[in-house]
C-alpha cells in the first residue's frame, strides 16, 4: 500500500469521501464543503481511461510510464522491492471465486476467448493469444469449469422485471454520481420523460467530444444476475479491492433498483411486444396512498377500486395515489410506507398441491378481501380493529388466479393471510405456492451448465500456469486461496527480447496487452531508469498520482487539471429548493484545499 504521511493520509481520505458523495445529498458535510470552494469547468480529454490518465499525467508532471506500470499491475508478475511496491500502489484485479461476484459461464468464456470485445483488453490482457483456436477453446472451457466450481453455481430464483424499480434505477444512475465516470444513457431532457432507454442505449455519439472519457462497463446482460450485481453495488470494495469503484451507501432497495436498471436487457420483453411472459416466483403488489390524485398509468388504482373491500366511495378513483409496485413472496402490510390511509393489492397465481377443500383466512386491520379464481373466498370488509375471517373453496391441483386487497384508514394497521387444507394445518401461505406471469431476469445466453470436476481440475492447473492468480485473488469453495505465480524481476520484463509483454507480438508465455507504441515506450523508459523510482513520492506527487488513478479529475479540478466536462455538467443537480449556484452544484475545486480546511474540521468529516 502507498505509504502516506499522516497529513496526506487524512487529506486522501477526505478526497475519497467527497468523491463518493458528490452528486447526492447524502452528506450534509459534503454540501457544506461545496459552499467553501470556487469551481472551474474544464474539458476532460477524450479517450479510454489509460489515455485519459496519460493526459492528466502530462499536465501534472507525473511519469506516464510509472503510472501505466501501476495501472497494469506489472509487479503482479514481476518482482519489485518494497519501496517500489509502495510507490506504484498497483491496481488489483477483481476478486474471483466464492467471495467474488458470481459470473455466468457464458460471460467467462466470452471474456477469455475475446477480451477486447468486452472493452477490457487495455487492462486485462489476452493470456491465450499464442494458442490455436481449438486448443484455446479447450483451455477456456477448463478454466470456466474451474471458476464456476470455485464460486459456486448461480441457483437463486430469477428476479422479476419491475418497471417501477427500473425507473428508480434510471434516476439513481443519472443522479447519484455514476455518470461522472460512466457514459450516460440519455441526456437530462430525456430523463424527464417516463420512457426507459433501450437496453443498448448510450448518449448520442455526437456528444462524445463534450463528454470526454468514460469508464467502460462492457455488456452486462450476460454477466451476472440482479441479486449479484446489487451485492456488488452495495459493497464494491469487497470484490474490487483497489477501491476505484466507490460505495454510494445504497440501501438494499436502491441497489436492487439500480442493478435491475443496468440489467434491463435481461427483460427485453419490456421493450419487445412479441416476447412471451413466463411464470415467475412471487406475487405482484401495488401500494397506494389515499387522499391525493394520481395519473397512475398501469391500472393499479382501477384494480383496487374494482376489488375494493366494501362499497367503494365515489371519490376513490380520484383520491387513490399509486406509490410503488414490485414483487413479494409474503402477503403482509410490511411494504407500507406509512400507517394510515393506505391500500395494497396483491395479484398472481396460487399453486394448489392436490385436489381438495382449502380454508383461507385473512386477519386485518382495517378491511381485506381474498379471491381465488374469479370468486370472492374471504370477505373481511369494513373499518375495524384486527379481525380474522375465513372462507372455503374446493380446488383442483394446479395454478389458480389469486388476489388479496387490503386497506387501512386510520389507527393501527396489519395484514396476515393463512391457509389450511388436505394434510396441512393452518399456516402462512407457502411462498413456493405463489407466482405471477412476468419477465424473469435471466442473464442473456443462459444455458444448462453442469460442472465437470475433471475439467475443473485441469482449469485450476491452467489458472496457475497462466499466472492468473498474479492479479486475481481467488478463494475456492472450501479450499485455500491460490497463490500467485512465481515472479520475475521487473527489470527483466523483456524489453529487448522482442517477445516480452511489451512486444507487439509477445511470445506464447507472455500476455498480450493492446498498448500504443507511445505507451510501450513510456513503460520501457521508466523501467530502464528504474533507479529513479527508488525513492518514495513526496506529498504533492502522492496526491496527484492518487487523484489520477482514482479518476478524481472527472469531477474535481486541482492546479488547473481536471474538472467535469461540459457534456456531463447537465447531470450535476442541486437537491432541494435552495439555489446555491454552481458552488452548491459543481464538485469543488481542490486547488489549495489544505489552506482552507482546518485539521479539526477534516477529522470531523472523516469521522
- Report helix, strand or coil for 601: helix
Cβ 104 vs Cβ 224: under 8 Å: yes
Residue predicted with more confidence, 459 or 18: 459
Residues of the chain with CATH 1.10.760: 159-270
Non-local (6+) Cβ contacts of 597 within 8 A are 14, 36
Report, as an integer, the average pLDDT of 502-515.
86
CA angle 266/272/274 to nearest 5° reads: 115
Q: What is the mean pLDDT of the chain?
A: 80
Non-local (6+) Cβ contacts of 159 within 8 A are 225, 226, 227, 256, 260, 327, 440, 441
Q: Residue 141 above 50 pLDDT? A: yes
Residue closest to 34 by CA, chosen among 43, 47, 51, 21: 21
Query: Which pLDDT band holds residue 375 (cuts at 50, 70, 90)?
Result: confident
In whole angstroms, give the CA distance from residue 490 to residue 530. 9
Cβ 283 vs Cβ 346: under 8 Å: yes
In whole angstroms, give the CA distance from residue 360 to residue 188. 50
Q: Residue 570 above 70 pLDDT? A: yes
Q: What would be the CATH architecture of the domain defined by 159-270?
A: Orthogonal Bundle (1.10)
Q: Say whether the peptide bond before residue 592 is cis (omega within 30 degrees of 0).
A: no
Whole-model pTM: value is 0.72
Handedness of CA 223, 89, 512, 464 (dihedral sign): negative
Q: Residue 419 above 70 pLDDT? A: yes
CA angle 590/592/594 to nearest 5° reads: 95
Residue closest to 350 by CA, chosen among 358, 342, 338: 358
pLDDT digits (tens, 9 = 90+) for 257-303: 899 999 999 987 766 656 667 788 889 898 888 775 544 444 455 55
Q: Residue 334 above 60 pLDDT? A: yes
In whole angstroms, give the CA distance from residue 509 to residue 467. 10
Cβ 12 vs Cβ 543: under 8 Å: yes
**What is the third-level CATH fold of 278-438?**
Jelly Rolls (2.60.120)
Q: Residue 6 above 60 pLDDT? A: no
From the CB of residue 303, how many other CB atoms can be counted at a distance below 10 Å?
18
Instruction: Give the length of the chain.
Output: 607
Query: Which pLDDT band holds residue 469 (cuts at 50, 70, 90)?
Result: confident
Residues of the chain with CATH 2.60.120.1560: 278-438
Report, as an integer, the average pLDDT of 209-231.
83
Task: Kindly give the pairing relationship between strand 283-290 and strand 320-328.
Answer: antiparallel
Cβ 459 vs Cβ 142: under 8 Å: yes
Amino acid at each position: 500500500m502507498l505509504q502516506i504521511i499522516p497529513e496526506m493520509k487524512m487529506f486522501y481520505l477526505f478526497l475519497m469521501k467527497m468523491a463518493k458523495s458528490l452528486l447526492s445529498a447524502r452528506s450534509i458535510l459534503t454540501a457544506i464543503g461545496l459552499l467553501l470552494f470556487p469551481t472551474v469547468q474544464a474539458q476532460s480529454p477524450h479517450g479510454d481511461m489509460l489515455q485519459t490518465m496519460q493526459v492528466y499525467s502530462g499536465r501534472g508532471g507525473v511519469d506516464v510510464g510509472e503510472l501505466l506500470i501501476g495501472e497494469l499491475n506489472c509487479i503482479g508478475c514481476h518482482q519489485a522491492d518494497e519501496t517500489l511496491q509502495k510507490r506504484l500502489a498497483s491496481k488489483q484485479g477483481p476478486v474471483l471465486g466464492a467471495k467474488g461476484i458470481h459470473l455466468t459461464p457464458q460471460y467467462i468464456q466470452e471474456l477469455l476467448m475475446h477480451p477486447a470485445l468486452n472493452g477490457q483488453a487495455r487492462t486485462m490482457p489476452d493470456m491465450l493469444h499464442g494458442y490455436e483456436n481449438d486448443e484455446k477453446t479447450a483451455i477456456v472451457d477448463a478454466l470456466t469449469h474451474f471458476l464456476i466450481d470455485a464460486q459456486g453455481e448461480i441457483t437463486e430464483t430469477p428476479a422479476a422485471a419491475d418497471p417501477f424499480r427500473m425507473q428508480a434505477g434510471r434516476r439513481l444512475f443519472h443522479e447519484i454520481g455514476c455518470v461522472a465516470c460512466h457514459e450516460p444513457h440519455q441526456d437530462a431532457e430525456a430523463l424527464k420523460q417516463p420512457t426507459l432507454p433501450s437496453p443498448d442505449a448510450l448518449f448520442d455519439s455526437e456528444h462524445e467530444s463534450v463528454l470526454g472519457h468514460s469508464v467502460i462497463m462492457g455488456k452486462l446482460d450476460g454477466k451476472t444476475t440482479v441479486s449479484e450485481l446489487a451485492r456488488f453495488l452495495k459493497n464494491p470494495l469487497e470484490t474490487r479491492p483497489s477501491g476505484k469503484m466507490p460505495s454510494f451507501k445504497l440501501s438494499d432497495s436502491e441497489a436492487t433498483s439500480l442493478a435491475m436498471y443496468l440489467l434491463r436487457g435481461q427483460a427485453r420483453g419490456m421493450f419487445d411486444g412479441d416476447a412471451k411472459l413466463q411464470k415467475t416466483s412471487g406475487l405482484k403488489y401495488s401500494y397506494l396512498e389515499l387522499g391525493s390524485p394520481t395519473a397512475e398509468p398501469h391500472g393499479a388504482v382501477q384494480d383496487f377500486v374494482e376489488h375494493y373491500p366494501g362499497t367503494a366511495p365515489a371519490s376513490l378513483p380520484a383520491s387513490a395515489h399509486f406509490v410503488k409496485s414490485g414483487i413479494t413472496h409474503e402477503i403482509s402490510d410490511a411494504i407500507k410506507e406509512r400507517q394510515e390511509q393506505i391500500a395494497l393489492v396483491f395479484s398472481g397465481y396460487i399453486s394448489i398441491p392436490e385436489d381438495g377443500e382449502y380454508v383461507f383466512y385473512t386477519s386485518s386491520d382495517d378491511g381485506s378481501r381474498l379471491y381465488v379464481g374469479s370468486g370472492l373466498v374471504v370477505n373481511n370488509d369494513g373499518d375495524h380493529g384486527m379481525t380474522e375471517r375465513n372462507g372455503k373453496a374446493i380446488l383442483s391441483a394446479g395454478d389458480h388466479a389469486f388476489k388479496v386487497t387490503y386497506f387501512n384508514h386510520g389507527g393501527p394497521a396489519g395484514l396476515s393471510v393463512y391457509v389450511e387444507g388436505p394434510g396441512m394445518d393452518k399456516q402462512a401461505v407457502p411462498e413456493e405456492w405463489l407466482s405471477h406471469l412476468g419477465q424473469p431476469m435471466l442473464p442473456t445466453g443462459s444455458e444448462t451448465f453442469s460442472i465437470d470436476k475433471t475439467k475443473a481440475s485441469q482449469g485450476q492447473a491452467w489458472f496457475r500456469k497462466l499466472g492468473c492468480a498474479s492479479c486475481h485473488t481467488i478463494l475456492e469453495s472450501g479450499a485455500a486461496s491460490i497463490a500467485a505465480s512465481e515472479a520475475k524481476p521487473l527489470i527483466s520484463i523483456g524489453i529487448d527480447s522482442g517477445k516480452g509483454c511489451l512486444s507487439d507480438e509477445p511470445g506464447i508465455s507472455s500476455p498480450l496487452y493492446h498498448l500504443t507504441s507511445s505507451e510501450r515506450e513510456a513503460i520501457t523508459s521508466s523501467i530502464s531508469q528504474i533507479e529513479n523510482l527508488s525513492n518514495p513520492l513526496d506529498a504533492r506527487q502522492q496526491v496527484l498520482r492518487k487523484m489520477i488513478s482514482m479518476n478524481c479529475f472527472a469531477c474535481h479540478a486541482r492546479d488547473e487539471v481536471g474538472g467535469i466536462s461540459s457534456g456531463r455538467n447537465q447531470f450535476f443537480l442541486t437537491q432541494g429548493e435552495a439555489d446555491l449556484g454552481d458552488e452548491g452544484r459543481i464538485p469543488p475545486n481542490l486547488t489549495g484545499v489544505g489552506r482552507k480546511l482546518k485539521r479539526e474540521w477534516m477529522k470531523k468529516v472523516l469521522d
